[in-house]
Structure 1
Amino acid sequence: MTAGTSLLAQFAALDSATVSDALDACGLPPGQGGLRPMWGTPKVAGFARTVQLEPVDHSPTDSRGGAHILTGAIAEAGPEDVVVVANGGRTDVSSWGGIVSVGASVRGVRGVVTDGACRDVGQARELGFPVFARGQVPVTARGRLRQRSAGEPVSLGDVTVGQGDLVLADEGGVVVVPRERAEEVLDAARRLADREAAIEAEVRAGVPLPDAMRDARLAGTEARR
């Protein structure tokens, strides 16, 4: 097991809400909702492979074309990666489909988070390939979207994602952890998880909720030290 794989496994043992609280405690942007699993309830932790999409410009002066969107990034991705697609939250056109799910699955990619819509969800489900998106739409990207960049920082909702940042996605939402601060956030998240587990145990043992939630144990004050 590589150091990266070990780090991902430790984050995968947590949930997006706890990591979001830890990001808050560390002064970093918290998680976000609206990016839902398109099938089942998968949990994905991986390092970001970023792709920026943009609308096709049909003007005569625009000569940009090239390879199909996403294909280069997928060809370079591997078993520790999650593809992150920035498409400005558009839900009128698909920014991820069945063929790229197949290509990513063959490469061992852990999943995709796309700030937009997707299609061919049944194909992704059959592959067991996790897709997180803002919705589904049957409309193809062909002739509507093109790739502006790959491997550059992108916006996923209100959060900036850099290539190699850690992404955790589950049924509760998506969190992005800057790679250089991953250990700090992991430490904070573990302490928060321990506090929440202790409070839950007290409540289940019959301690009144106001007493179990005394002081600021859920506020992450210890994580800020």
Structure 2
Amino acid sequence: MTAEAALLTQFTALDTAALSDALNACGLPPGEGGLRPMWGRPKVAGFARTVELGPLTGEHGGAHILTSAIAEAGVTDVIVVANGGRTDVSSWGGIVSVGASVRGVRGVVADGACRDVGQARGLGFPVYARAQVPVTARGRLRQKSSGEPVVIGGVTVEPGDVVMADEGGVVFVPRARTVDVLKAAQLIADREAAIEAEVRAGVPLPDAMRDARLAGTER
């Protein structure tokens, strides 16, 4: 296993709630809601391969959106599509799911709508988006950039940042802060596991969820 794959394995051992709390504790933007798995309950972590889309207003759209990013992506990547949260037009569809799956891409997080979810499900390809819509991007969207910083729900995502998505939402972790965030998230996960164990053993909830304990100041 490569060092990059091992890093991603550490993320998938956690969940987005713990990672969101850890981001908050590290002074970073917490997780994003509203980006839901479009089928099943997959969990995915990878390095951001970014694409920004925008409206097509009469000019020629050029090469089909997303194709260049997918052609350059690999087995540790997650495609991150910035489309301003639009849900009236698809920013991800079935053929690009096939192309990404063939490349071994881990999944896609689209800040907008998607379509052809059944095709993605059949491929076992994780798709996170804000909605489903049958409306094609052809003639409606153009690709503004690929491999540049993008903004997803107010959070700036740099190429190579870690993207983690599960049924609870999506988090974006700056690549340079992965060690800090993982350490904080593991402490949070361990603390919450201990609280749960006490509650199941009969400890009253107010005692188990002591303020000092939740704040991480109790030794």
| Structure 2 residue 68 is matched with structure 1 residue 68 | no
Q: Secondary structure at the match of 1:192?
A: helix
8 Å CA contact retained: 2:61, 2:141: no
Cα RMSD after superposing both structures: 1.1
SS in 2 for 1:218: helix
State the Cα distance separating 1:219 from its structure 2 match.
3.1
SS at match of 1:19: helix
Change (3 A) 1:175 1:220: farther
Offset, 1:216: 2.8
Match of 1:213? 209
Q: Which runs of 5+ in 1 are unaligned?
A: none
Instruction: Give me the whole-angstrom Cα distance separating, in 2, the residues matched to 1:216 and 1:55.
Output: 50
Q: CA deviation at 1:57?
A: 1.7
2:202 is paired with a residue whose SS is coil
Specify whether residues 116 and 199 from structure 1 end up closer, same or farther in structure 2 by C-alpha distance, changes over 3 A only: same
Normalising by structure 2, report the TM-score: 0.97
Taking only the aligned residue pairs, the percentage that are identical comes to 80
Paired residue secondary structure (1:164) = coil
2:28 aligned residue: 28
Determine which of 90, 93, 100 is the counterpart of 1:97: 93
AA in 2 matched with 1:112: V
TM-superposed CA distance for 1:214, in Å, is 1.1
CA offset digits 1:35-90 (Å, max 9, x no partner): 000000000000000000000021xxx4x532100000000000000000000000
Q: Is the contact between residue 115 and residue 156 of structure 1 (CA under 8 Å) also seen in structure 2?
A: yes
User: Alignment partner for residue 126 of structure 1, among 122, 125, 137?
Assistant: 122
Aligned to 1:85: 81
Structure 2, unaligned runs of 5 or more:
none
CA contact (8 A) 1:48 1:163 kept: yes
Aligned to 1:55: 55
**Structure 2 CA distance, aligned partners of 1:150 and 1:49?**
8
Q: What residue is the counterpart of 2:199 in the other structure?
A: 203
Partner of 2:37: 37
TM-score by length of 1: 0.95
